[in-house]
Amino acid sequence: MGLEREKKTIGVIGAGAWGTAFSMHLAGMGYHVLLWVYEEDLYRILKKERENRYYLPGFKLSGYMDFTHELTDIPAYSDDIVIATPSFALRETLERVSHGLQGKRILILTKGIEINTYKFMADIVHELIGRDEMVAVLSGPSFAREVAKGQFTSVVVASRIKSLSKYFQSLIHSDNFRVYTNEDVVGVELGGAMKNVMAIGAGIIEGLELGTNTKAAFVTRALAEIRRLGRALGARDTTFMGLSGIGDLILTSYGSLSRNRAFGLELARGRTSEEIIGSQNAVVEGYFTIKAAYLMSRNMGVAMPITEELYRIVYERKDILESIRDIKNRGLKEEDE
């Protein structure tokens, strides 16, 4: 798809670690990137020093990247738009420019579930700018720092409109950034959101030194729980065996760069959720997604015992060892229940 990279401007909304790393990837491919920065002081740092000292320190940013603190600049100057805000801020942010986004091709990097509505990120964007708009989502095992280093990464782009997922595949694919396509938007979004939840549990297991047998069992049953909710939502089982499912779950549960795993480690060391979140600069998406997923599963009547126990640990300060006992003492089950 002969894209004229030197003439194309891609707007990125959100200058966290992932938004910055993805912008670096796009700039490295020769696209002009306009990155919207929420924090005014970070915007000044980026303009002066060309380094994201807040969220992705240690990388000098390409001359193909420019920065703005004015959100309306993104739809005004961009051909395609990438959304990389935290999940809790996506609706409020896009409401400010929803009219300008109409008619634009949009790729969502944000992973999560809205707490009050149980909506995924693509559903929120559709709601704000119209259901006929061109919206795709990206997910898969992709630590921001490794993408920024140019290390090989593979992801999946999903859209209800096949030609759009193919368009973004062609737009962002490179030798070190392999892109697959999928039409199961719900499955891709659910896998990307829930792996953050389950990685907190993996971090707790590691922090308590419960062993690799325990962690392997946990990750396997976590995937089964995600698939169970996926079936209730109409997702395809096969999606959870792909990059946005098992791939991202393994990365986030075992990878040393995982903020959600680190959150679980701190819980295991006795810190409260409030203490950990209050001390963090970067967003721990799993903290927010736990509540949304727990409430969604109860509303839908889907059994999610791991998610429920994590919710009680994180939001109700249930004793971690008591939660582990309750999980271990559940009744006997068939594996595929």
Query: CA-to-CA distance for 21 and 42, rounded, in angstroms?
Result: 15
CB 248 within 8 Å of CB 195: yes
pLDDT above 60: residue 1: no
pLDDT above 80: residue 6: no
Active-site position among 104, 111, 119, 195: 195
Query: CA-to-CA distance for 260 and 311, rounded, in angstroms?
Result: 14
Helices 185-207 and 305-316, interaxial angle, to 10°?
60
Question: Quick one: average pLDDT of 182-207?
Answer: 98
pLDDT above 70: residue 304: yes
What single string gives the DSSP state of each residue in 224-245?
HHHHHHHHHHT--GGGGGSIII
pLDDT above 80: residue 7: no
- Rg of the chain over Cα atoms, rounded to whole angstroms, equals 20
pLDDT in tens, 51-96: 999 999 999 999 999 999 999 999 999 999 999 999 999 999 999 9
pLDDT in tens, 68-79: 999 999 999 999
pLDDT above 60: residue 3: no
Checking phi first, is residue 198 left (phi over 0); if not, alpha (psi -120 to 50) or beta? Answer: alpha
Q: Which residue type, as a one-letter code, is found at position 30?
A: G
Q: What is the pTM of this model?
A: 0.95
Instruction: State the residue for tokens 């992973």.
Output: 111
The pLDDT value given to residue 131: 66
* Structure token digits, residue 95: 């409401």
CB 29 within 8 Å of CB 172: yes
pLDDT in tens, 241-273: 999 999 999 999 999 999 999 999 999 999 999
Question: Quick one: average pLDDT of 3-32?
Answer: 89
The pLDDT value given to residue 282: 84
Q: Which residue type, as a one-letter code, is found at position 118?
A: Y
Q: Is 195 a catalytic residue?
A: yes
Nearest alpha carbon to residue 71 among 37, 42, 102:
37
| Distance set, CA 212 to CA 208, 250, 313 (Å) | 11, 13, 22
Domains of the chain listed by start with CATH number:
5-183 (3.40.50.720), 187-328 (1.10.1040.10)
